């Protein structure tokens, strides 16, 4: 398998996408920073395997939707460079999708972390 193999190329493109999101999207960087803090906290609080699985899915859910939001916004900007009410709806709803996921992740975090923090007090 050389560097020109389609699978290798697809991974290269995927990593380029991640680099682009990190460089261009402040909200993506915020989600990554929060994820790192949450993972460190989870390690300190000694989450169970099931709690780690729930946490991992929650983190990847938010990050995946942030990437989807970025892709949708780029596509909308491409096909509708001028202001258009429908383009605004697409971008606003896409951003709302990430907001809902982020709110859900806060709820999951509270359910996982608060009892463990209270047990330490």
Under 8 Å between Cβ of 32 and 70: no
66 catalytically annotated: yes
Determine, yes or no, domain membership for 106: yes
Determine, yes or no, domain membership for 115: yes
List pLDDT tens digits, range 36-95: 999 999 999 999 999 999 999 999 999 999 999 999 999 999 999 999 999 999 999 999
**Residue-range definition of the domain harbouring residue 19:** 6-120
The answer to whether 66 is a known ligand-binding residue is: yes
Determine, yes or no, domain membership for 10: yes
Give which of 112, 103, 100 is closest to 38, Cα–Cα.
112
Q: Which of 16, 51, 66, 86 is an active site residue?
A: 66
The answer to whether 25 is a known ligand-binding residue is: yes
Helix axes 85-120, 49-79, angle to 10 degrees: 160
- What total number of domains does the chain contain? 1
Determine, yes or no, domain membership for 1: no
The answer to whether 51 is a known ligand-binding residue is: no
For position 114, which CATH number holds?
A: 1.10.287.3610
Provide the whole-model pTM: 0.89
């Amino acid at each position: 398998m050389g560097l020109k193999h389609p699978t290798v190329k697809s991974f290269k493109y995927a990593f380029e996408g991640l680099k682009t999101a990190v460089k261009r999207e402040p909200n993506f960087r915020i989600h990554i920073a929060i994820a790192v803090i949450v993972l460190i906290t989870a390690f300190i609080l000694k989450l169970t395997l099931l709690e780690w699985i729930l946490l991992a899915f929650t983190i990847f859910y938010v990050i995946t939707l942030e990437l989807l939001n970025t892709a949708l916004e780029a596509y909308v900007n491409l096909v509708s460079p001028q202001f258009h009410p429908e383009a605004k709806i697409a971008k606003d709803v896409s951003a709302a999708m990430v907001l809902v996921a982020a709110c859900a992740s806060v709820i999951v975090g509270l359910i996982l972390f608060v009892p463990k923090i209270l047990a330490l007090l």
